[in-house]
Structure 1
Amino acid sequence: MIRLLPLLFAWAVVGQSAPQESVAARMQSFDRALGVECTHCHVAGDWKRDEKPEYGFAQRMIRMTEGLNAGTLRDLGGVTCWSCHRGSVKPARMPRAGWEDRLAHRPEAMKLSEEDAKKPASEVYGNLQLLARAPAGSIPMNMSIYAAALGVSCGHCHVPGHWESDEKPAKRTARIMLGMFSEFPKYFDASRQPSMQCYTCHQGSVKPQRMPAG
């Protein structure tokens, strides 16, 4: 079906100079990534019409992906539509049990007194940057969520016993990733901001998945 569609409907996304084969391949990759047909975003028989909300939202998602891959993610491998969607319109959400179990078995250094839990995180933990102003009691949960999202242990980013150390490159990468969350809003209308988690892209793996061949 995709080979029969006019180029016009895809120019806004792929570019007016793109060859037909390039447009067809890209549209097919979108269909596969979201597990949908062309008419999920387009009006059958008049493909360039943009009246469906999904059409405009898809354009914004594509611009976000391209913008992040050209910027923050340029040296980190980047992501594709498949990385988050994996054959579904709505990306998977992390099961609560995934991080609750990690929180229950957190290192002793992350177990705080009731008094310390109410303090700013920077007063309890060393070398906190992005989360310095958060309540100290929220840090163990946040760390458990990050670990579950990537399918790793605390030692992936931290040096056990020297938690404040910046020795591991993964810790620096994690800070970049957390900072990236502030970039998402600029690609979307205030009334329709997508819900993003670390798990949205990672889904239990350090590197977001690429679309399988075939």
Structure 2
Amino acid sequence: MLGAFLTERELGNKADSIAQSLSCLKIKLSILQMDLSNLSNEQVEILDEMREEINVAYSQLRELLTTFRLKLDGLGFLPALENTVTEYNKKIGKKIDFSYTIPANTISIHHSIHLIQIIRELLNNIYKHAQASYVSLNLSMEDNNISLVVLDDGCGFSTSQESSRYGLKIIGDRAQSLSGKWDIISSPGKGTQFCLIFPMYSRA
């Protein structure tokens, strides 16, 4: 019913407000989780569940916001991606080595949404955890397959121990939605390389 009375731009603005509220809740939960000494095991589990649910809601909301912006701003995939790279250049404090060799209007909006979210998740992980001095992002096309490679020279991690991390699960789910194959190569102190390849005509 709400959508019947609000324009898409107004819905996007409300979604921004909700995202801010969720971020505030995440901060407050983090504060609570800093001191668990006065809480029972059951209460600690409830806090963990609340944090996980908020993370899921926040991730889904960010996807909706990306969808709105791709549609409302009239941007194609490349300008939207360039905006993301610019944003993370500032966050990471390093200029990302960015290469894009895909013909114009090749990537559909459905592909765009999944790809932008995968790239944002990867860059956000680098920003939060990698401590990298070099980051590169390459998107190319060969024989009707689109290839994404993101690598950094940061601290790396053990893929066997971290394969269940929430962010990697989201990436895996999105890669599957693109009918794609992906791999992540990393080890402590050796940086990280992520590779995704999917058919241009896959149904996302």
TM range (shorter): under 0.3
Q: Which has the higher contact order (CA 8 A, sep 6+)?
A: 1
TM-score (norm 1): 0.25
Which structure carries more strand by proportion?
A: 2
TM-score (norm 2): 0.26
